[in-house]
Amino acid sequence: MEFTEPVVLVLSSLAGGPKHGYALARDIESFAGVTLGPGTLYGAISRLEKHGWIEALPTDDRRQPYRITAPGAAALAERLTAMQKVASAGLSRLALRPAR
């Protein structure tokens, strides 16, 4: 599965606990400063659910909560570790640039 920004953001939000779509959008805005439109958010949710990285929880409410699965958590951890390495290398290289 391709790790698009919305996929990483949704998985990161659900790593903090189950949430429904609106709560996911608000959480993502608060920790990442990114606003996902409904089509983008629910498209990512659909792909993640089909891939088995998140699952819908039973509910009597009209809002559908989701949670991250063990394979989803493992994939997220692997991706975030790789992103951290890239960010660290980039920041180190920026620090070595001569001042202009």
φ and ψ at residue 65, rounded to 5 degrees:
-80, 150
Write the CA distances from 44 to 24, 94, 99, integer angstroms: 11, 32, 41
pLDDT of residue 98: 76
pTM for the model stands at 0.91
Please tell me the distance from the alpha carbon of residue 49 to that of residue 45, in angstroms, as a whole number. Answer: 6
pLDDT of residue 34: 97
Query: What mean pLDDT comes out for the span 61-85?
Result: 96
The top-level CATH class assigned to 5-96 is: mainly alpha
Query: What mean pLDDT comes out for the span 72-96?
Result: 95
Q: What is the pLDDT of residues 20-44, one digit of tens each?
A: 999 999 999 999 999 999 999 999 9
* pLDDT(96) > 90: no
Structural domain spans, the chain = 5-96
pLDDT of residue 85: 96
| Both tokens assigned to 23 | 């709560």
* pLDDT(51) > 90: yes
